[in-house]
Amino acid sequence: MWDMALTEEQREIRDLARRIAREQIEPVRAELDEKEEFPWEIMKVLAEAGLFGVYIPEEYGGFGKGIYELCLVTEELSKVCGGVAVSYAACGLGSYPFILMGSEEQKKKYLPQIASGKKLAAFCITESGAGSDAGGIRTVARKDGDYYYLTGTKQWITNGSVADIYTVIALTDKSKGPRGASAFIVEKDFPGLSFGKKEKKLGIRASSTTEVVLDECRVPKENLISREGMGFVVAMRTFDYTRPGVAAQALGIAGGAFEYALQYAHTRKQFGKPISSFQAVNHMLADMATQIEAARALIYSTAQMIDAGKAKNISKLSAMCKLLASDTAMKVTTDAIQILGGYGYMKDYPVEKMFRDAKITQIYEGTNQIQRNVIASELIKEVVSEHKK
């Protein structure tokens, strides 16, 4: 259905990402997963294809498109490997803070480097004691002359040690709590920046997830995004824009698992006939396809509204996208394993990996319980606003 709504240029972007996924990523996805190896060569291919620039304005070296195109690419890559896809998509999460609220100088300096794929980006907010409670961060930023000095440890950072440009949320005024947080652009070679533990994960194992350690990390004052005290505004606005991207990752994982299960059901025979002829399997396939199409419709309609500047209730819609798509990914990959039976449980078949990759989409960029809180809060605001009219 959504294929018909794509422009010729969007279709070309989608098809390019699909071809790279099938030709470059699929042959090595199992090896990357097994070795927990960051896909540097694939990142180079994506860079050469120009796909890092799809959501970056033309004046900064990008294609001048938006969230819709970022979702198209992320979905296609995720159909084959969630770990590779998130390594790509995390650059959007790392760069959207200054796309949305950065100065003209910051955009000119950093966005062309990201658009070209020469440098990767990452977003640093999570800490050991601040996950769902993002307001509990303890990383501090002390201003002294022309520099801020950042101290603290960020945890579970996607693209951790492999990125070159980091958006870091730190407290410039601890007495104000979350209202005392600020956002900074930190370069990899700034004095005082290092990396701690590299995590061993259940899924998305090709991606690099590490601690980012700031020990009096010296950051020029011009790398402050917006102004002091705007850190959580920057972070929450960024999430509103990027959660459809996480949803697209979940959608792609679900789509890849469904396509494999459908082909398997058509060729696998039991009791002398393809298992796709059995009603129990038919119903599972029908439910999987319906859930995927519902998630896709919500994600891409939301992305269109965001790009058009018409999404007044963006927080609610983005949270709905992430919630629906990630729950769908978990359900579809579980059912895909069931359709393959014993084979589905084995690493020789990709649905086992897709099942492991799907789980994190219910957790990062806000757990699905947090998404439900966001949705309910926005619904209540709408009711209160309506009653005031």
Is the confidence at residue 144, as pLDDT, over 80? yes
pLDDT, one tens digit per residue, over 337-381 is 999 999 999 999 999 999 999 999 999 999 999 999 999 999 999
Active site includes 365?
A: yes
Closest CA to 106 of 43, 190, 58, 167: 167
Under CATH, what is the fold of the domain 121-230? Butyryl-CoA Dehydrogenase, subunit A; domain 2 (2.40.110)
pLDDT reading at 4 higher than 80? no
Q: Which of these is catalytic: 365, 378, 382, 386?
A: 365
Bridge partners of 181?
171
The letter for the amino acid at 240 is D
**What whole-number percentage of the chain has pLDDT above 70?**
99
Q: Give the mean pLDDT of 204-232.
A: 98
User: Measured between alpha carbons, how far apart are the two ends of the chain, in Å?
Assistant: 38
**Mean of the per-residue pLDDT values of the chain:** 96
> With pLDDT > 90 as the criterion, what percentage of the chain qualifies?
95
Q: What is the pLDDT of residues 49-97, one digit of tens each?
A: 999 999 999 999 999 999 999 999 999 999 999 999 999 999 999 999 9
CATH domain 232-388 topology: Butyryl-CoA Dehydrogenase, subunit A; domain 3 (1.20.140)
C-beta separation of 153 from 127 below 8 A: yes
Residue that has been written with the tokens 């407290």 in this structure: 171
Q: For residue 93, how many other CB atoms are within 10 A of its CB?
A: 25
From CA 148, how far away is CA 315, in angstroms rounded?
31
Map out the domains of the chain as residue ranges: 2-115, 121-230, 232-388
Q: What gap in Å lies between CA 321 and CA 311, rounded to an integer? A: 13
pLDDT bracket for residue 2 (50, 70, 90): low
Task: Evaluate whether the domain defined by 2-115 bears CATH number 1.10.540.10.
Answer: yes
Model pLDDT, residue 1: 63
Contact 165, 113 (CB under 8 A): yes
* Helix, coil or strand: residue 195: strand
To the question of pTM greater than 0.95 for the whole model, the response is: yes
